[in-house]
Amino acid sequence: MLYLLLGANLGDRMATLRRAVDLIGAHVGAVVQASGLYETAPWGVTDQPAFLNQVLAVETTLAPEAVLTQAQAIEQALGRIRHEKWGARVIDIDILYYGDQIIQSEILTVPHPFLHERRFTLVPLAEIAPNFVHPILQKTTIDLLATCTDTGDVMALPVAG
């Protein structure tokens, strides 16, 4: 299973995430599960607007590098311009896990190297994959969340009804 983290903190964040989910379904693979939406404090560069984050579980036949290429194309199609690392952005799509693969290349590191340090990643991931085991750290998502030292705010948005 491919797990992706979506994040947006500029423009109409909710509409951007919805569009990203649609594009991922069309170009990467079937979205089989989606976490709720979480409003989260910025991480890394903290002087910027709050993010909306969501984690997706996706069934894909694409190779990991092809997933990265498609994710970057979707980001660009939605208006992402890369200014600074961890800065404000219209959309960000990160590959968290590609099954239990460990990938270390010039363009891609999987599992995501900061996954276990970020509550804004672990909280939505724990919603849909609480028992998924990190292939390097050999801990479940729930265990990673329990030991995460990040204190950033992660608040679930109410489900529209």
Rounded CA separation 92/72 (Å): 9
| 13, 80, 118, 119: the active-site residue | 80
Query: Catalytic annotation on 89?
Result: yes
Active site residue 80: yes
Catalytic residue among 13, 19, 22, 94: 94
Strands (E), the chain: 2-8, 30-34, 38-40, 51-59, 92-98, 103-104, 109-110, 154-156
Q: Tell me which of 13, 89, 118, 119 is the catalytic residue.
A: 89
Active-site choice (19, 82, 92, 119): 92
The verdict on whether 92 is a catalytic residue reads yes
Is 119 annotated in the active site?
no
| Rg of the chain, C-alpha, whole Å | 15
Active site residues: 80, 89, 92, 94
